[in-house]
Amino acid sequence: MGWLQVETDRYENGSGWILERDGIYGWILYNEDIEDEFQNSFIVLSDLFTNPGLSVITLDPESGKIPTQYIPALAINDTFTVSSQAAMLSLSAQRGDIAVRTDIPGPGMFILSGDDPTFLPNWIPLTTRFSDWSTIQNKPATFPSDSHDHDSRYYTKTQTDLSLLQKRDTDPIPAAEIIEDVNHRFVSDAEKNLWNDPPKWLAIQNKPATFPPDSHDHDARYYTKTQTDLSLSQKRNIDPIPAAEIIEDVNHRFVSDVEKATWNGGGGFSIPLGGILEDPLDQLPSSNFKETNGQAISRSAFSTLWNLVRRTVTSIVPATDRINVSTHGLAEGQLIKFAFTGGGITALTNYYVRNPTTNDFQISTSTTGGVVNLTASQSGDMITNVEYDFGNGSTTFNVPDRKGIFPRGAGVHGSRAKTSGGNYDGGPVGFAGQDRQIPHRHQQYAGDIAGGSYGSGGRYADSGGANAATILYTGSPVSDGTGSPRNGNEVAPAWIAVRYKVRVL
C-alpha cells in the first residue's frame, strides 16, 4: 500500500486512509468516511507500540518485520456488494466492513459500526440517497384524495370560453361594425366641412335683390322677458311649503305633537290613566276611554294601565308571614287581591295591607285584624285596586264596574261625625259597601185603652195573659202630614243615571 504526501505532515494512500501529524497526539491514522460518521475515531500510532521509552518497536533482525506480539488485533476492511437489505443483514462481516446496496440508487453504501451485522441500526449509510420511486419501500398502494372544489373559486374552461364568446377585444371599434339608428347617424367629412364652413353671403348666386317684409308682432303672442321675469318673481317653486312660511290667523292655527298627544289621550282634559269621568253624550274616543261596566280589555294593548294596577309577587316568607313585592308602593290598610291560591292566600279575595316596607308587607282580612298566617312561598300577580280584576287570567283584565252604584270618597272624614262610632268612613280605595240604614226602634202607643186584661188576649206589648201576642209588627210608614213616604227595595238618595268612562290609554 503506497502513501502519497499531499502536504506537510499529511499522507494519503488513495483508499480513504490518511496519515498525518497531530499537534497533540503526534502521528495519527484515520479513514475519512469513518471519521465523518464517528468523530475522533483516529488511531494514535504511538499506542501501537509498547516501547515505554521511545514508543518505538525494533524490527525483527531476521525477518525485518514488527514482532507479532506488538501488533494489536487489526480489523481488515472488506467491501461487499449485495442486492437487498436482507442480503446485507446476512453478511458475515465485522466492524468497519462496507456493504454496497445495488437495490438503492447511488448505489447506497453502508458501513458496519457495531459487531452484529444482523442488527440493521449497526449499518450506517455513507452516501446520500436519491431514491427512485420503484425502490421506495413500504409506500402505500394509493393516496386518499384531498376534498377540494375548484368550481367555487375558479371558472371552468367551459364557463370562460362561453364568456369570451360574448366579448371582443378592447381595440378601437371600426365604424363599419356600428349599427346606426334614427338617433345615431354618422356624417362624412364633406358634410362636416359644409356645415362648418357655410358659404359667404356674397358668394351666394341668384339671390333676390330685396326681401319683402313679413308682417308679424311678437308682443301679441309672446311675453317679453321683462313681463316673464316680473311674473316669475311673484311665484314660488312647487316644492312642499315649510310650516315656518305659513301665516296663521284666528281660524288657522298649528298645534304641536305634544298638544295632539294630550288631546288624543284625554279628550282635551288632563285625565290620568285610570281616571273616571262622565260622558253622557258618548263623545270621548273609544280608543282611549272604556265604559266602567267591568268589561275585559287586552293586557298587551293597554299594558301601561295594566302595569299601574298590578304588581308581581316574587315569593312569600312563611316564617315572617311577609309577601315580597319589589317597590310595591302600597300603604297601610290598602285593599289588594291575588290571582293565585296557596300558602294561606285565597285567589280573588280582598285583603288589607299591613305593616308595609319598601319591598314586602303582611296582609289581614280586616283593617285592624290579625295578620294572616302564610304557610308556603307563592308567586304570581296581584292587583292594587280591587275595582279591577284579572280577566281571563292571562291576556285580559277587567276595568271597574260603576253601573247602578254611587261613588263615595275613600278614607275617614277629617271632621264630620256619624251618628255614632266616629267620623264618616268610605273605606279604602275600591271598598265595595252595601246599602244599609242606622239601627233604630219604632215607638208604639196603646191608644185610648189604659191596659189589657189578663187572660183575655192582649194587643200591646204590656198585655198579659195566656192569649198575649209574642210578636208585634210595625206597619209601613205613612204620612205625618209632610208628604207620603217613598218605599222601595233599596236605600238610596235621589239620583240621575250617568255614563262613566275610565281612561285606559
Residue 46 zone, left/alpha/beta (φ > 0; ψ -120 to 50; rest): alpha
Q: Note whether residue 473 is domain-resident.
A: no
Both 66 and 83 in a single domain?
no
pLDDT tens, residue by residue, 166-180? 788 888 989 888 999
pLDDT at residue number 36:
80
**DSSP structure class, residue 232:** H
For residue 257, what is its C-alpha cell?
305633537
**246 pLDDT exceeds 80?**
yes
Helical spans, DSSP H, in 202-302: 218-221, 225-233, 257-266
Both 317 and 389 in a single domain?
yes
Both 112 and 26 in a single domain?
no
**459 pLDDT exceeds 60?**
no
Q: What is the CATH number of the domain that holds 317?
A: 2.40.30.180
Structure confidence at residue 472 as a pLDDT band (50, 70, 90): low
Q: Note whether residue 238 is domain-resident.
A: no
Helical spans, DSSP H, in 334-468: none
Both 341 and 387 in a single domain?
yes
For residue 209, what is its C-alpha cell?
335683390
Q: Note whether residue 310 is domain-resident.
A: yes
Q: Note whether residue 116 is domain-resident.
A: yes
Do 113 and 97 meet the contact criterion of CB atoms below 8 Å apart? no
Least confident of 33-47, 74-88, 313-327, 395-409: 33-47
Both 308 and 359 in a single domain?
yes
Q: State the total domains in the chain.
A: 3
Both 392 and 323 in a single domain?
yes
pLDDT tens, residue by residue, 421-455? 899 898 899 899 888 888 887 776 655 444 444 44
Both 314 and 370 in a single domain?
yes
Both 370 and 337 in a single domain?
yes
Q: Note whether residue 200 is domain-resident.
A: no
pLDDT, mean of residues 61-72: 74
Residue burial 433-454, b: 16+ Cβ < 10 Å; e: rest:
eeeeeeeeeeeeeeeeeeebee
Domain of residue 106, residue span: 79-132
Please give the residue that has the higher pLDDT: either 448 or 108: 108
**131 pLDDT exceeds 50?**
yes
Both 312 and 371 in a single domain?
yes
Both 66 and 97 in a single domain?
no
Structure confidence at residue 9 as a pLDDT band (50, 70, 90): confident
Question: Domain end: 39, 70, 101, which one?
Answer: 70
pTM tops 0.75, yes or no: no
Output helix, strand, coil percentages for the chain, rounded to the nearest 5.
15, 20, 65
Please give the residue that has the higher pLDDT: either 265 or 422: 422
Q: Note whether residue 335 is domain-resident.
A: yes
Which residues lie closer than 8 Å to 346 by C-beta, 6 or more apart? 338
For 352, list phi and psi in degrees, rounded to 5: -95, 140
Both 96 and 64 in a single domain?
no
pLDDT, mean of residues 6-26: 85
Q: Note whether residue 438 is domain-resident.
A: no
pLDDT at residue number 130:
57
pLDDT tens, residue by residue, 289-306? 999 999 999 999 999 999
Question: Domain end: 398, 430, 453, which one?
Answer: 398
Q: Note whether residue 353 is domain-resident.
A: yes
Q: Say which residue the cell 264630620 belongs to.
A: 416
Question: Domain end: 91, 116, 132, which one?
Answer: 132
pLDDT at residue number 413:
93
Both 36 and 118 in a single domain?
no
